[in-house]
Structure 1
Amino acid sequence: MLPSHYRRCYGCGPDHGAGLRMRLTVGQQASIHAQLEVTDDHQGAPGLAHGGLLACALDEALGTVAWLLGTPAVTARLETEYLTPVPVGSVLHIHARCTGVTGRKISLVAEGRRNGPTGSPAVRATALFLAVDLEHFTTHGRVHDVAQAMADPDFDTIRRAFGINP
């Protein structure tokens, strides 16, 4: 199981009050397995997960796969296909993997299934991520947030384990 790459991350951070708090586990050959418990706070239509929230969960899993490749990366394109509604109270099992790397471009796919990892597919995504340097975050984000993330022991654990060079 992977610790959060940033404790305030909306997708996986334990310190984000309204976050998804996804649990992510390393799979084989640059892949991730993740779980999202769909709660009342995740509703779009009554009793159903919000589609944008599902896209966010897939994006989080896809971004974590990019980390496994040893470089920070950001979403350049995310295409989501909704196959069936995801009800509140269910657990979405997500599998994300890398399908190729060309220069800075990282191609990825993900699928979320209801009722377990072998259950019926509910949502799919294809994505293009771009590898970036740490300067991307300090230039476009808040410098003190980047410094706080890098000082977190969990960040250092992930960085060393997967050879990430910020």
Structure 2
Amino acid sequence: MSSEPASLQHLAAPDGSCYGCGPQHPSGLRIASHWHEDGIHVVARHTPREEFIGWPGLVYGGLLAMLVDCHSNWTAMAAHYRAQGREPGSEPAIHCVTAHLGLDYLRPTPMGQELLLEARVEGEVGRKTRVLCEIHAGDVLTVRADSLFVMVDIARLGEQAQRATGG
């Protein structure tokens, strides 16, 4: 039995089906994000599977972008819950979507190593929330990201998607 507390994803979206972070996706990455003990950062650990190789021995950059996207989005949502004095998973649910994903690939990211993702909100938690995220492979900083997430009404978002596809 694990002594680690439930992830933000399990608390707030236990039925989530996102490929990157959904606990219920049958073959997804199942990223598990947690508040760091410092109360500022949200952290996750992930070891890329072999199918995510890019160049020989290196992690595919698209996977790194997906890790940053999901983990940073959960950082934004966790900050919203905290700013409202609520626990993740309490009602009404908080949802954010990516408005801008900006990554700098600083160093090659090696396969076969556990990656540490560290993210935090930069500035105010609001309808639009800026999140800074880093990926470390051991002691090496390999990716730095600066992204923007927008809080949305998920029902309205679904309606907009249906209208856009003619459904």
TM-score by length of structure 1 reads 0.74
Matched residue pairs, number? 139
Name the counterpart of 2:119. Answer: 96
Quick one: which of 6, 19, 23 aligns to 2:28? 19
**Equivalent position SS for 2:70:** helix
Quick one: which of 107, 121, 124 aligns to 2:144? 124
**Equivalent position SS for 2:123:** strand
**Residue 65 (str. 1) matches residue 75 (str. 2):** yes
Contact 1:21 1:36 in 2 (8 A): no
- Deviations along 1:19-78, whole A, 9 cap, x unmatched? 222222112445310011112021122221110110110111111111111331111001
Identical pairs, percent: 33
1:12-161 → structure 2 map (5 Å cutoff): 12-27=21-36, 28-68=38-78, 69-70=80-81, 71-101=94-124, 103-115=126-138, 119-140=139-160
Greater RCO, CA 8 A, separation 6+: 1
Cα distance in 2 between the residues matched to 1:48 and 1:41: 11
Cα distance in 2 between the residues matched to 1:103 and 1:16: 29
Contact 1:92 1:112 in 2 (8 A): yes
**Equivalent position SS for 1:101:** coil
Cα distance in 2 between the residues matched to 1:95 and 1:59: 12
Q: 1:132 to 1:30 in 2, by over 3 A?
A: farther
* Aligned partner letter, 1:46: P
Gaps of 5+ in 1: 143-166
- Quote the offset at 1:102 in angstroms: 6.4
**Equivalent position SS for 2:72:** helix
Cα distance in 2 between the residues matched to 1:19 and 1:41: 12
Runs of 4+ off more than 4 Å: none
Contact 1:66 1:72 in 2 (8 A): no
- Quote the offset at 1:140 in angstroms: 4.4
Name the counterpart of 1:10. Answer: 19
Cα distance in 2 between the residues matched to 1:135 and 1:15: 20
**Equivalent position SS for 1:85:** coil
Contact 2:104 2:144 in 1 (8 A): yes
- Quote the offset at 1:141 in angstroms: 5.4
Cα distance in 1 between the residues matched to 2:34 and 2:140: 20
